[in-house]
Amino acid sequence: MTINHRYLDKELSWLSFNQRVLQQAADKSVPLLERVRFIGIYANNIDEFYKVRVAKIKRQLLHHNGNHQPAQQLLDRIQHQSLQAQQHFDATYNALLSEMAQRHIYLVNDLQPLADAQQQWLQHYFHHSILPQLTLIPLTDTVDLIKRLHHHCSYLAVMITRAASIDYVLVEIPTDTLPRWLQLPSTHHQYSLMLVENIIRAYIDDVIDTDAQTTYEQLSVYGIKITRDADYALKPNNHDVLHQLSHHLQQRLTAKPLRLVYQHTMPAPLLQLLTNRLRLSDFDTLIASEHCQHLNDLSAFPTSANKYLHYAPLPPINSTAFNLASNVFAAITAQDILLYYPYHSFEHMLDFVAQAARDPAVRHISINIYRVAKQSRIIDSLIIAANNGKQVTVVVELQARFDEQANIDWAQQLTAAGITVLFGVTEVKIHAKLCLITRQEQQQLIDYVHIGTGNFNEQTARIYTDFSLFTRQRAITQEVRQLFAYLANPKAKVSFNHLIVSPMNARTRLYALIDTEIYHAQHQRAAGITLKLNNLIDNGLIDKLYQASQHGVKIQLIIRGMCSLIAGIPHRSENITIVSIVDRFLEHSRVYIFTNNGNPKVFISSADWMQRNIDRRIEVGCPILSPALKQRIIAITKLQLADNVQARVLDPAMSNRYVSRGKRPKIRSQTAIYNYLSHVEVQSQRLAHKEHQHHAK
């Protein structure tokens, strides 16, 4: 991509982001087993990239019978970058294996290095726990391989060489029922693990069981990995979302593959056979790899007793405001409360819903769920609330990609508990993070609201950075109530003066906020824009930022993932800088800060700056009205902008070079933020203690 273009291709920018993830796996300052997990995150990311983004590009090509030059050029560049990335991936993985062996952690590939006792144990385990669950699929003309393969299984391709013939068969490994990693009995303080695929390789003679008349001369085993098209689009104006989605999920199970990763030693005839049987075309991707197992499971690599191989624990910080109050409602009545996960404890959010479920004064709970934990205490509390006679309304977004079936199951469970479940409409996803609790206090109903940047998920809250705002300020609560009314009845009239709500007013409000900064800059007043987003790829908003830069507005961007804006181009974006932070926690929060001539406007939001988030989703950005909380967010953002350890510069070449530290002290923003918030809560405790002593006198 040259700097003469206005925008970077979002798909190539995404691949560049995933390279930053791979950088973490290669970074020796990161604890060893955390680096192994980054390898797994990288592999999982690339799988989803092909399932969704590459699938869309391929669909464009097929729609035009292959005659769509921009799509073909983009696909070629993706293929080129993917092949380069695979080499980097293999080299990084091999280096990690070597380092692990130096620390007596072994990923065993065959039986040769194992002690006799280990081999006996493993042989028994294989025959009793693995072999009965394996299925063989012959690669013959009578088998439709596309329909026969399951999306939840891994496969090994076996070449059976006989004196007069060569046959091929796939071994199906049900990875949803078999553990991905098996820890072997330890010897001499060694920590030995085997992937289930490698156990099967070691005992492949027992898997391919033949009689004496058809005995083979040789068995050769090759790993393969298949990625299917997982994209779908629901029909507009069809309100039976549940039926449509269930149909598409069934289609996903047998969708045509669009990527085949195969072991680089695979013979050409077997590769050609697989290509034919899977009906892979020139538009599809073939990648030779030294390691083609489902290594996304490395993201859940077993822990070790050696603490130095992991990140040092950061115990979640408790909120003084919540802890010192008699209940969550008294705490929120006293002040707006802002939490920042995973630095703060997610227990406060769980308590917010749990106390509401049991509080006799609570009349109604409304919440929207997008992705929740597999064992969700939020869901448990909602069911308890319904059992306690409270009105409970849950807006379930069924189209949360790869969590669709889980959300269908939750919807059915909630409905069975007597809870009102809404699905919204097919035209827009509901991606906002809202909870509204209505409480009877004396002679009036008081609303308490949560607005966040992340999901109501106690598992991801341990590793995703997200803001949660708790407030009862009527300026905010009334508009949240309006939005829930709209979700129940899309024909309802709504008006938002404080909230930035997609698709109703988000684009016009954001344009207006940028225009205000341009106006201040034109009149030599303090002007500036700081944005923290996951993705920035909306051309309209990018053009508006270019316009602001051209008028002298200083713009600082922190973008974790895709970024189509090109910074530092003379006469267009010379006033824009962009960094990306990839570290221990996934940077997930969205923050908008507008200098506004010294009276900053600060928003937290569920929305990235993508066309879908601005025009085709229900998203909510909330102004921070408390001056103290404004300054807290600004302080946190300044620490992120000062990061010179895990921050990378996003330049036109997508080089992912680290921010230069020079002679400045090291600032690792995630560690610095933890220390800052710990200090804030300690100070709050001291202040509360002094106030208590004063009142006691």
CA atoms within 13 A of residue 313's CA, in its CB half-sphere: 5
Separation of alpha carbons 156 and 136, rounded Å: 10
- CA 86, 89, 94, 97 torsion: positive or negative? negative
The dihedrals phi and psi of 630, each to the nearest 5 degrees, come to -55, -50
Q: In what helix (H) or strand (E) does residue 452 lie, and over which residues does it extend?
A: strand 444-452
Going from the C-alpha of 328 to that of each of 73, 441, 561, the distances in angstroms are 56, 14, 35
Helix H, strand E, coil C: the string for 168-196 is EEEEEEECCCCCCEEECCCCCCCEEEEEH
What is the DSSP secondary-structure string of 269-317? HHHHHHHHHTT--TTSEEEEES--S-GGGGGGPPP-S-GGGSPPP-PPB
Residue 364, token pair as written in the block: 């109604």
Report the relative pairing of strands 362-369 and 391-396 from DSSP bridges: parallel
Task: State how far the alpha carbon of 16 is from the alpha carbons of 44, 288, 409, 644, in Å.
Answer: 15, 20, 36, 19
Stated as kind and residue range, the H or E segment containing 245 is helix 241-253
Q: Which long-range contacts (CB under 8 A, 24 or more apart) does 58-64 make?
A: 58/229, 58/258, 58/283, 58/284, 59/229, 59/231, 61/283, 62/283
Q: How many helices (H) and strands (E) does the chain have?
A: 21, 26
- Would you call 431 a catalytic residue per the annotation? yes
Whole-number Å distance between alpha carbons of 58 and 229? 10
H or E segment and range at residue 17: helix 10-26
d(CA 48, CA 614): 23
End-to-end CA, the chain: 70
Residue spans of beta strands (DSSP E) within 84-229: 105-107, 135-138, 153-161, 166-174, 181-183, 191-195, 218-228
Q: What is the dihedral of CA 108, 109, 112, 117, to 10 degrees?
A: 50
Between CA 563 and CA 578 the distance in angstroms is 9
The pair of three-digit structure tokens given for residue 531, joined into one six-digit string: 């944005």
One-letter amino acid at 611 equals Q
3-state secondary structure 583-650: CCCEECCEEEEECHHHCCEEEEECCCECHHHHHCEEEEEEECCCHHHHHHHHHHHHHHHCCCCCEEEC
Q: Which of 344, 364, 431, 588 is catalytic?
A: 431
- The DSSP-derived string for 662-685 is TTSPP--HHHHHHHHHHHHHHHHH
In 3D space, the residue among 59, 39, 49 whose CA is nearest the CA of residue 289 turns out to be: 39
The answer to whether the Cα torsion of 102, 105, 109, 110 is positive or negative is: positive
Exposure string (b/e) for 607-640, b if CB count within 10 Å is 16 or more? bbbbebbbeebbbbbbbbebeebbebbeebbebb
What residues are annotated to the active site? Answer: 431
